[in-house]
Structure formats: C-alpha cells, structure tokens
Amino acid sequence: MKKSSIATLIMLFLLIPAALYFGDRLPGKGYYLTGTLMTVFALVPFFLSFEHRKPQARELTVIAVLCAIAVASRLAFAWIPNFKPIFAVIMIAGFAFGQESGFLVGAVSAFASNLFFGQGLYTPWQMLAFGVAGLVAGLLRKQKVLLEKPWAMGLTGFFTVFLVVGPLLDTCSVFLAANELNAKAVLGIYMAGVPVNLSQAVCPFLTLLLVGKPFLEKLDRIRVKYGMMEAENGL
C-alpha cells in the first residue's frame, strides 16, 4: 500500500476523530485549533502522494514557475477586492498536469503569497482551499469538452470557486468569527459568504475563458515534449 493511502486512512480514522474529540474539550476557541489541525492532516496525504511519484527535476521547475505566476497574479490584483486570477492559474496547473500537481501548486502558492499578505491561523485553510481548486481541475482533466471549449473551462472555474473553494474559506470564518458554534451563527456566516464567493468566482471564469486554452496548450506542448507526468498520465 502506498504511503499516501496509509496516510489517508490514518487521517480519516485516527487523527481527525482525535482532533474533534480533544478540540471540543479545549476552552475558548479550541474548535478553531481543531479546524486548523484537520486542514494540516488533510494536506499530508497529498504531499506524500506527490513525493512517492518521484517527479523529474524539469517537472518541479515547471511547477515552481506556475507557483510563481500564481503568486504574482494574486499580488498584481490585490488592489481589486475579490478579484483573484490565482485560482485560474492553479486550475490550469491541474488541467495540464493532474490533481497532485494542481493541489501542490495551489497549496504552495497560497503559503508563498501569504508571505506578502501575512500569515495566520487561516493559512492552512487557504492552502487546503486553493489546493482543492487544482485537485478538482486535475480530476476533471479527462473531460475533453472542458479543455477544448473556453466557455466550459470558464464555467468550471466559476463553479469550483463558488461551490468548493468559497465554502471551504467560509468554514475558516466559522471557526474564527463565531463565538459559539450554533446553527444560526454558522448559517449566518455561510450566507454572508455567498456574495463574496460569487464575486470571487467571476475572475477565474473570465481568466479561463480568455486565456485558459492558449495557456493550457503551451503547457501541453511542454508536457509532451519532455515526457512529464508519465507515471500519472500513462503517457
């Protein structure tokens, strides 16, 4: 059994239940610590899975460049509220190289960009949410219509951010802002996050619609030319 599979089983059946059990007994905002620990636990299997595949040096170089582009795209548009092309770059990485690389680009770019925006207990949640955007793209990469039709790629980015990334970040807000975890407070935070998530989803939609396909075609040429991701894609 792969290390990543073992780590996933440990996370699901040991670490997360233990965090929930002991976190519920901590004073104050212990549940926020619990959520942070759960996020860290969820990150571990993905990184182990990527390491198990032993990527080539050129593959790591491309991933590093994609991380840099993602960070730069977040910094360049920081002055526009809720306008983040970083999600589009992360999803393009997933479309081009698969879910492991997509998740890695998302998680690393979230951490790296927070070196400029500031680190905090929300950082693991952002790493998870950003990484999941790349993961979703990687899982959908075999759906050819999503890669061949710019509008389909754009809509995929829109709904991924609106329905997956946004709610994950809202969950962080639940643990951070709610004085007591009750249904009314939790529902209020998620409802307040809907317009924010909707506005954040517009940017990846436009970015993928306009530049997603040509960007992806260039990455595909690099992947084919240098035989990258062979183990994952069966090339």
**212 vs 88: CA distance, rounded Å:** 8
**Longest distance between any two alpha carbons in the chain, whole Å:** 56
Residues 29 and 100 in one domain: no
Residues 45 and 144 in one domain: no
Q: Is 82 left (phi over 0), alpha (psi -120 to 50) or beta?
A: left
pTM, 2 dp: 0.80
Instruction: Give me the phi and psi of 143, to 5 degrees please.
Output: -80, 95
Per residue in 18-74, pLDDT (tens digit) is 775 676 566 665 556 766 776 777 777 767 766 656 667 777 888 899 999 999 999
Q: 13, 35, 52: which is the final residue of a domain?
A: 52
Q: Which is more confident, 206 or 139? A: 206
- Work out the average pLDDT over 165-185: 80
Where residue 234 falls among pLDDT bands split at 50, 70, 90? very low
Where residue 235 falls among pLDDT bands split at 50, 70, 90? very low
Residues 80 and 2 in one domain: no
> Is the confidence at residue 230, as pLDDT, over 90?
no
Residues 226 and 159 in one domain: yes
Query: By residue range, what is the domain housing residue 208?
Result: 55-233
Q: Domain tally for the chain?
A: 2
**93 vs 88: CA distance, rounded Å:** 9
% of the chain at pLDDT higher than 70: 80
Alpha helices (runs of H) in 77-122, residue ranges in sequence order: 86-97, 99-117
Q: Tell me what pLDDT residue 131 has.
A: 87
Where residue 231 falls among pLDDT bands split at 50, 70, 90? very low
Domain holding 126: CATH number? Answer: 1.10.1760.20
Residues 64 and 45 in one domain: no
